[in-house]
Chains A and B, each alone.
Chain A
Amino acid sequence: MHKLLNDTPGEKIMLLGNEAIARGAIEAGVAFATTYPGTPSSEISLNLFQMSQESDLYFEYSPNEKVALEVAAAAANSGLRTFCMMKHVGLNVAADPLMTLAYVGVTGGMVILTADDPSMFSSQNEQDNRYYAKFGNLPMLEPSSVPEAKEMIKQAFDLSEELNQPVLLRTTTRINHSNAFVTFGDMKPMKTKGKFVREPFRCVTVPAVSRQLHVKVLEKMDKAKELAEVSDFNPIQGSGKFGIIVNGVSFYYAQDAVKDLGLGDNTKILRLGFSNPMPEKLIKDFLKDCEKVLMIEEGEPFMEEAVKAFAQEAGIMIPISGKSQALFSRLSEYDPAMVREKMAGFFGIEYTLKEKLSLDNVPEIPMRPPNLCSGCSHRATFYEVKEAGKDMDIICPTDIGCYTLGFLPPLNMGDFVICMGSSVSTACGFGQATDQKVVSFIGDSTFFHSGITGLINAVFNNHNFTLVILENDITAMTGHQPHPGVDMERFGLDGFGRVNIEKLVRTLGVEHVSIVKPFKVKKSIATIREALEYKGVSVIISQEPCALYAKSLKMLKPRAFKVSDKCVDHRDCINTIACPSFYLEDGKVKIDADTCVGCAVCAQICPENAITPLKK
């Protein structure tokens, strides 16, 4: 049985933050869960997906976050406890249903998790999604630790049912990807089937209805504010004239710093875990007997602006500072030493920074950027497109997935990316705005997510570009989740449909569609050349399973190649495709037989035919 399904209250176990959240959802009796995977949230859904195969939990990977939230909205309005999780930028995709679902509300508890990523460990921006709570009128909870995350999601469901309002649970990477001991609690029974009761004057958001609903939302938020005033998630610890208001993981950095700086006797800390709506009375009372207040929050001055406004209303004239040149930045995540240093400065405590080691005589250390894997079919496709179009001035919009790494040398295939699906729509714009040839790249999962509408636009408005769909049969980057084009029997699951990308693309009206098998280099180059020369929209579908995934399924039996004596050191292999299985030994190119999977792309481009199978 899945370790998070053990009905063993009191068991103490080391869990990843995301596992703790998944367990918390199960303890809360969640019956319905939807997602589109995105780091740092992916392991929550992975665990729920696994558990759904061993329990009555309904779980689905939806094609994108908007769909996931809409599917979940219906379940939550049928009375089920429903959980929808995504990374922070995913909530942008789901923002349309989010804003009006907040008006409609829910009848079963609904928690929407947004996993923010300060420092952008694996994201394209570091937007602060706390503003969605304020923007959309959603109560919001923010855990400070892994064990608290598990408890918080349970209370988030209760809160949602008390207010009939979806609740936003906001985490950051350091919650999702930290490990700590967690104690299992009781598992609430799951209610797996609901009933939708028709209430058109709540659920059909025509203007006349929505005007009434907006009034109700504000009333719900007034009630939520009363709950925030007395919430256990907004504790005050310590006492004294120095005040600290803090959220999330920064609480522990602040707590350690207070101790390290010997500020324990004259400092009090208010931690806001129930942070929208802000507990106004609690904050005003907290400020009253403070001499000065330090605001510690990663990201934007979300709390700081509210606290300053409360102080103004209450006529409190003390310094309240957070974001400033001298104090905290709006950039990146914080760390314990940074918080200690800023706190010492603000409260006038003498503090000497730890002495840094002199690194003057340390030689330059070669970078170790992430790279496409050995035997990754994307590398082959990039090389072939580059060869096929080498006499053309090409712009390559790309998209979000492993293949974004194709922008690195020596492939250099990737010129523009802003969000999921943008490769297709920006190709329309670049094709129209310039005379350059446009070739864009999108993965299969990303194509299902939000590439299809861009392609419909291209057909309708008669744009001119080539779209390469990299069909590797899986959502690879986030850890091998299924998507609508995947054969679910490979997961040992039946009862799923499957969308065929080629048929879909033809049905959309794309007239020039070709399929390539990227490990057949010459043939692929010829087919791609023909597509590049086509005037109008052409689509190339490059089909080859993800090598990592195929290896894990034992579909791929690695058969390593070697560089033979025929090598005369052109180094075309290293210089053009740069597979990580190559290395240099005494100035000669070699292939690491332990990592080579035998895709044979290098063997096909070696002018001397010097790369040959390694005979066992």
Chain B
Amino acid sequence: MGTTRLIMVAVGGQGNLLASKVLGEAALISEVPVRMSEIHGMAQRGGVVESAIVFGEATSSIISDCEADILLGFEPAETLRALNRCSKNTKVITNTATLPPFTVSIGKGVYPDVENIKELLKEKCASLVAIDAMKLAKEAGSPMSVNIVLLGALIQSGSLGFTKENVIEAIKRRTKKAFLDKNLKAFELGYEAAQNYGN
């Protein structure tokens, strides 16, 4: 068994901590060792929330710069900001729906062009899957399911070695019953979108 290091970056409120819990549960079901670390002190105040998840042999619970095998970005500018965590071997999966930071609204910065973000990610890293997870989440019935759409895309990449069934079981165990149907649909839509990406 090797080690797979996953970094997830999101904006407070996007549900990446729940996504980490689902992945943790999927690891438990799949009998893969896992350690996770998160920084969430200011999550509810609109800051950046980062989770590091280490699957497999390594025993550390955090991930150094340049050492992420997979970067899962919940927001395109945050995905770009996390490039320092990547190497040329990193697989990148990103949401393309933007959440401009407040600094942009008050004219203290310019939000980068999303097409340019995609080009840069593709140019520098091993692969890129870029999907509009917000659109798919709404299609699944809830804008809250962005996190699960992105999990679908992540699992489709095959990088974690989890079966789809195990992740679906983890979603059943870890997400609220009232949202289950929407989440399962969101997962499928994310999975399909990643499968069709670039085709």
Contacts and interface: CB of A to CB of B under 8 A. Distances in A.
Task: From A255, A371, A578, name the one whose CB has the most chain B CB atoms within 10 angstroms.
Answer: A371
A121 to B, nearest CB: 5
Nearest to A338: B64
Task: From A177, A255, A357, name the one whose CB has the most chain B CB atoms within 10 angstroms.
Answer: A357
Interface in B116-144: 116, 120, 124-125
Contact of B41 (A39, A358, A371): A39
Q: Which 4 A-B pairs have the closest CB atoms?
A: A366-B109, A337-B64, A122-B41, A370-B45
A366 B104 contact: yes
A181 B28 contact: yes
B126 to A, nearest CB: 11
B158 interface: no
Contacts of A255: 59
Interface in B87-111: 87-88, 100-111
20 contacts: A14-B25, A39-B41, A121-B41, A122-B42, A178-B61, A179-B38, A181-B24, A181-B34, A335-B63, A354-B67, A364-B109, A366-B77, A366-B108, A367-B101, A368-B48, A574-B105, A574-B107, A575-B106, A583-B105, A584-B107
Interface in B2-38: 11-12, 20-21, 24-25, 28, 34-38
B109 A359 contact: no
B36 A578 contact: no
A356 B66 contact: yes
A357 B38 contact: no
A145 B35 CA distance: 10
Task: From A40, A363, A402, name the one whose CB has the most chain B CB atoms within 10 angstroms.
Answer: A363
B65 to A, nearest CB: 7
Contact of B80 (A256, A362, A367, A548): A362
B46 interface: yes
Contacts of B101: 366-369
Contacts of B177: none
Interface in B31-80: 34-42, 44-48, 58-67, 77-78, 80
Nearest to B43: A370
Given A12-B28, A249-B62, A252-B61, 12 more contacts: A181-B34, A335-B60, A336-B63, A357-B88, A362-B83, A369-B101, A370-B46, A370-B47, A405-B45, A582-B105, A583-B100, A584-B105
A357 B89 CA distance: 10
A185 interface: no
A255 B58 CA distance: 9
B105 to A, nearest CB: 5
A558 to B, nearest CB: 15
Contacts of A40: 41
B153 interface: no
A410 interface: yes
B159 interface: no
B84 interface: yes
A373 B46 CA distance: 8
Given A255-B59, A363-B116, A368 B66 contact: no
A408 to B, nearest CB: 10
A574 B120 contact: no
B151 to A, nearest CB: 16
A548 B103 contact: no
Nearest to A410: B106
A372 interface: yes
A391 interface: no
A454 B36 CA distance: 42
Contacts of B24: 14, 179, 181
A361 B120 contact: yes
Interface in A150-195: 173-174, 177-181
Given A365-B112, A367-B103, A370-B47, A174 B40 contact: no
A536 interface: no
B37 A366 contact: no
Interface in A238-256: 249, 252-253, 255-256
A363 B87 contact: no
A473 to B, nearest CB: 17
A357 B64 contact: no
Chain A contact surface mostly: loop
Given A177-B40, A179-B38, A584-B105, A354 B66 contact: yes
Interface in A292-342: 335-338
Nearest to B81: A365
A68 to B, nearest CB: 21
Task: From B34, B105, B106, name the one whose CB has the most chain A CB atoms within 10 angstroms.
Answer: B105
B86 interface: yes
Given A40-B41, A335-B62, A371-B102, A355 B46 contact: no
Interface in B154-170: none
A14 B28 contact: yes
B45 A178 contact: no
Nearest to B80: A365
A174 B28 contact: no
A580 interface: yes
B47 A357 contact: no
A511 to B, nearest CB: 36
A512 B112 CA distance: 51
Given A365-B80, A368-B48, A370-B42, A357 B106 contact: no
Contacts of B120: 361-362
Contact of A357 (B39, B83, B110, B111): B83
A363 B116 CA distance: 9
B56 to A, nearest CB: 11
B60 A253 contact: yes
Contacts of B28: 12, 14, 181
Nearest to A356: B66
A370 B103 CA distance: 10
Contacts of A362: 80, 83, 120
Contacts of A580: 46, 102, 105
Contacts of B58: 256, 336
Contacts of A122: 41-42
A244 to B, nearest CB: 14
Given A14-B28, A174-B61, A177-B38, A368 B78 contact: yes
